[in-house]
Every structure is written in C-alpha cells, then in structure tokens.
Structure 1
Amino acid sequence: MKWLDDWFQLKLLEIGDYVLTLGELFGFLLIIAVTLVLSRWLSRALTKVVGSRSRISPSQLYTFTRLMSYSILAIGFLMALASLGVSFDRMLLVAGALGVGIGFGLQNIANNFVSGIIILFEKSLRVGDFVELESGLLGEVKEINIRSTLLKTMDNADILVPNSEFINGRVNNWTLKDDERRFSIPFGVAYGSDTHKVIEIVAAAARELPLTFEKGDRQTFVVMKEFGDSSLNFALSVWVRGEAIKRPGLVKSEYLLAINKALVSNGIEIPFPQRDLHLRSSSIPHG
C-alpha cells in the first residue's frame, strides 16, 4: 500500500506554508459527494416516513426538509474545507473574498438565495399554491429551490422564476388562506329581454353545475352591470373551490356554456354588435 500512500501525499499546490495534496483533494471531493447523497436521501426518507405517519401538512413538511437539506449541505461544505486544511482564519478570508465577489457580480445569486430562505420561513408561498405574478404568469408552485421556484402553467409548461421576483414584485396567491375563489362571468342579452327572468334562469343554471360552491355568505348571484352599446350587460358571480380554481379558463368556459344553454332554451336572445347607419340626402350642384 506504499504506492497508494505516495499517491495521496503527492503535492498538487504549494502556496507559502499551505500545501494541497492529492489525498486532501480526494477527501474534499468524497465529503462533497457524500453530503449531496445524504441530503437527498434524508429528504426523500423524511418525506415518505413523516408524511405518511403524521398530521403535518405537505407544505410544512416541504419547508422542513428543504431547510434540513440546506443545513446538511452547509455543514458538509465546511467539513470539506476543513479536510483541505483550511483553518478558521482562512475561512474568514474566503468569506471576505466571497463578499467582494457578491458586491461585484453575484448580487442576483445572493438575492435569489436569501429570497428563497425568506419564502420558506415566511410561508407566504407553498408547494401546491396557485399564483399569479405581476407579469400575468399563472401557475402552480411545484418546487422552491435555492435560486428559483418552479411553476407549472396551465399549458403544462415548466417555468423557472427567480425567487427575488416573489419578494420584490406583487404576487396574487389564489390559495394562500383557503382553496375557495369567486369568479365573475360577464355576459349580455338583447335589449327588450326580461331582466328578472335572465337573472333567475342564469343563477339556476349556475347552481346546477358541480363546480359551484355555496356556503354561508358565499352564494351564487347575477347582477346587471350596465346598458351596453348593443346589449344589457350582466355578470354571474359564483364561488368555486378545490383543484378547479387552478383551471380558470376551464371554469369560465363551463359557466359560459351553461349560460348560453339556459338563455337559448328560454328564448332569450344573445346579441351581437350592431350599428345603425343613417343616410342623408343632399343636393349636389351640377357643373
């Protein structure tokens, strides 16, 4: 085994009093690899064991496993540096160098990392939430990572959004406190229609849909909004709960189909834009 010991003692780098050997580099890489494997294995094991045997919510379990994973990675990285013979004083120098690097070119990475930690502790954003960003992007939160958050859109596209966007921008979290949301579905009928009948049949048609949720003050109703150019404009206000609120396009389509069927079956005309053209005669002088 002498040849193996000689290989481990092989000097790769020598700066002043510091000497980096092949054995120290191998130990560094080995600790990093073990740390990564251990972090992933513990996260998956805790998710399976704790998630199946406790009443902890999935979002709380996700936050706990993420923070535990980050802690293991930090401890493993410090141990790996120690295996290289890096003392505490040298670690402070490295931290200072990283601080300078952050000041010059790593602001976004540091900002996103800190934003991710804030999101996990603040619990304003959880895995499974359906959010709308200031840019108009709609999607369900699938993962909250160190640098970015993974959103799955209604088109089944995976979008990586920097964590800082959730901290610095306005975010509409549709499912933060509960999974109930009110939808407003606009529609119009022709002038001369019986408005009370319109309100009655549309509200009844909406209540017949399985999507509709009513409880307490969360009731289905129809209101007249305005006198439009070509129609009397109404809006159906209805509550929806559960997974359906993550499919707003489908929800709106279902209610529009129900409104159309109710109006047509009751002989109420659905108008289309019209313009009246009046021609005026004038005398044109002949040359």
Structure 2
Amino acid sequence: MNLQELLNKEILKTDNFDITIFEIMVVAIIVLITIIIIKVLKFLFKKIEQRNREEAGRRQALFQILKYLIWVLSITLAFEALEIKITLILAGSAALLVGVGLGLQHIFQDILSGVAMLFEGNLKRGDIVEIKDGTIGKVREINLRTSKIETRDNIIMVVPNSRFITENVINWSHINKYTRFSVKVGVAYGSDVELVSKLLYECAKKHKLVVAKPEPFVRFLDFGESSLDFQVFFWSHENFLAENIKSDIRYSINKAFNENHIRIPFPQRDVYVNPHETKK
C-alpha cells in the first residue's frame, strides 16, 4: 500500500459521508493552526496591555470575541474538510436546536452581559464590588459568561455576568479615590461629650490606613435610650480592608475610653413588682 492509498483509506463510512485518514490529518492541522493563532493573538494583546493599561476591558472583550469567531470558523472548515454539510446537520436537528436554545437562554444572556461589561468598562479586574446579597469582593477575572470575585475570606466566587447587569452592584473602586467609612459607639449619660469627640477623632486619625485629607470627623448622632450615640467618619484607599480598619479603630476607642474612664453602657431594664398583684 503506497502513501496515497494509505491517506485515502476510509476510517468511517456512512450513507452520507466517508472519513479518511487524510481528512483526519487536515482537521488536526486546522485545529493546530487555530490554537497557534489564538496563542499569538493572546501574546499580542498582553503586549499592548503592558504598554497601555487603559481600556483593558475593551481589549479583553475584543480578544474573547475574536477567539470565539476563530473557533467557529475553524469548526466550519473542519466540517468542510470532512465533507459534512453543516446545513444538513442544522436542518436535521432543527427541533433539537430549538429545545437547546430555550434551555440555554440564560447562558446567552450571561454572554451578552459579559460583552456589555467588557466594552462599557464599568467593571474591571481589581475593582472592589458589593453585589446584591451583600458579598464584597475583588474582581479577579471577567469572562464572557461568568466573572470571578475573591471575597474577604479568600474564597473565589463564580458569578454569572447577568447579575452584574440586572442587579444593583456597588463598585467601590470605580472613581479610583478614597471611600468614606464610619464607626458607631455609645457612651453613658453624664460623659464629657467634648472629650469623647476628641478621643474618637484621634483614634481614627492615627490609623495608618486612614488618609490625612479629608480629615476624620465626629458626629453626635442622638440621645439614645440608654446612651449618648456618636459616629466617627474617616476615609481610606483600602476598600477591601475596610472591616479590618474599623476593627482596629474600635480597639483603639475601647482602650482610650478605659484610660479616660468613659463608660460604654449596655441596655438596662428596671422591673417593678406590685406585691398586691403577686398575692392574687
């Protein structure tokens, strides 16, 4: 058997088409070339991103779309190489495709949402976001169908892109500036409110992750049921560490109050018993 006969040897034979060794080789070459083209494109896009990080989301979206288009073209060429008519496959499985389409409508919605997110640039890798259920995390990846965010517990959450489009999402990093946070505390009635305000201000100001400008400030919130309520406000660039910063400030407040004999009250209830009622 010569080389030509070997290449034309049939591996699979049906009523509609035959598959030979030569056709399998052509398909393998098409797939290999497709992989190489995608890798080259990825390398070029990374080079462009290193030179200019602006509009990185749009470039990522363009790369993802090009990658999918290249694969669609590659699969089409592979079917043509095998002499399989795609139109016949689509016509023969029309009912099945309708059912699959209905089942995959949420996936297509996620893909379209991913394209919109990447092109609009409202959400980028590294942004700190808060989704509807209250989860706060850092965006690690934005893909066409899903995105990955890393929570404060170092857990990776895979979130469908449609949630970022249809639900309210807070992007803490969108304006690339510091964010305001606050800590509430109540002190006992009779405390020196001026001293309380001074201590709260100092506790917030001395934290290394609190920005100097704008300065922290204290608000006398209200005359509570069992306490005088205060709130200290401060700004920080470290949105992802906000809860840790608040915790540090609370430690400082507790220490400062103890050193200055300022008491943090707890709710109390006085119960009066009528002796005449108990006798009944």
Deviation at 1:56, TM superposition (A): 3.8
- Gap change, CA 1:119 and 1:78, over 3 Å in 2: farther
After superposition, where does 1:124-135 map in structure 2 within 5 Å? 124-135=122-133
Structure 1 residue identity aligned to 2:12: L
Structure 1 residue identity aligned to 2:242: P
Q: Are the equivalent residues in 2 in contact too, given 1:202–1:263 (CA < 8 A)?
A: no
SS at match of 2:275: coil
- 257, 266, 274: which is aligned to 2:268? 274
- 228, 244, 253: which is aligned to 2:247? 253
- Gap change, CA 1:32 and 1:171, over 3 Å in 2: farther
How far, CA to CA, are the matches of 1:4 and 1:272 in structure 2?
92
Structure 2 residue identity aligned to 1:235: Q
Deviation at 1:143, TM superposition (A): 0.9
Matched, 1:240 2:236: yes
After superposition, where does 1:156-235 map in structure 2 within 5 Å? 156-215=154-213, 218-235=214-231
Structure 1 residue identity aligned to 2:116: I
Q: Are the equivalent residues in 1 in contact too, given 2:8–2:22 (CA < 8 A)?
A: yes
How far, CA to CA, are the matches of 1:134 and 1:284 in structure 2?
52
Q: Are the equivalent residues in 2 in contact too, given 1:181–1:245 (CA < 8 A)?
A: yes
Structure 1 residue identity aligned to 2:228: L
Using the size of structure 1 for normalisation, the TM-score is 0.82
Aligned to 2:138: 140
How far, CA to CA, are the matches of 1:11 and 1:261 in structure 2?
81
Report how many residues are paired: 280
Deviation at 1:198, TM superposition (A): 1.2
How far, CA to CA, are the matches of 1:85 and 1:182 in structure 2?
64
SS at match of 1:103: helix
Q: Are the equivalent residues in 1 in contact too, given 2:30–2:78 (CA < 8 A)?
A: yes
Aligned to 1:104: 102
- Gap change, CA 1:58 and 1:233, over 3 Å in 2: same
SS at match of 1:200: helix
- Gap change, CA 1:59 and 1:207, over 3 Å in 2: farther
Partner deviation per Cα, 1:105-136 (whole Å, 9 max, x = no partner): 21122122111111111111111111111122
Q: Which runs of 5+ in 2 are unaligned?
A: none
SS at match of 1:247: helix
Q: Are the equivalent residues in 2 in contact too, given 1:182–1:237 (CA < 8 A)?
A: yes
How far, CA to CA, are the matches of 2:278 and 2:49 in structure 1?
88
Identity %: 32
Q: Are the equivalent residues in 2 in contact too, given 1:43–1:69 (CA < 8 A)?
A: no
Deviation at 1:209, TM superposition (A): 1.1
Partner deviation per Cα, 1:149-186 (whole Å, 9 max, x = no partner): 11111111111111111112221111112242111211
Higher mean displacement: 275-284 or 253-262: 275-284
Partner deviation per Cα, 1:181-206 (whole Å, 9 max, x = no partner): 11121111111112222112211221
How far, CA to CA, are the matches of 1:166 and 1:285 in structure 2?
65
Q: Are the equivalent residues in 2 in contact too, given 1:131–1:174 (CA < 8 A)?
A: yes
How far, CA to CA, are the matches of 1:94 and 1:266 in structure 2?
84
Deviation at 1:72, TM superposition (A): 3.8
Deviation at 1:146, TM superposition (A): 2.7
Deviation at 1:101, TM superposition (A): 4.6
How far, CA to CA, are the matches of 1:181 and 1:283 in structure 2?
58
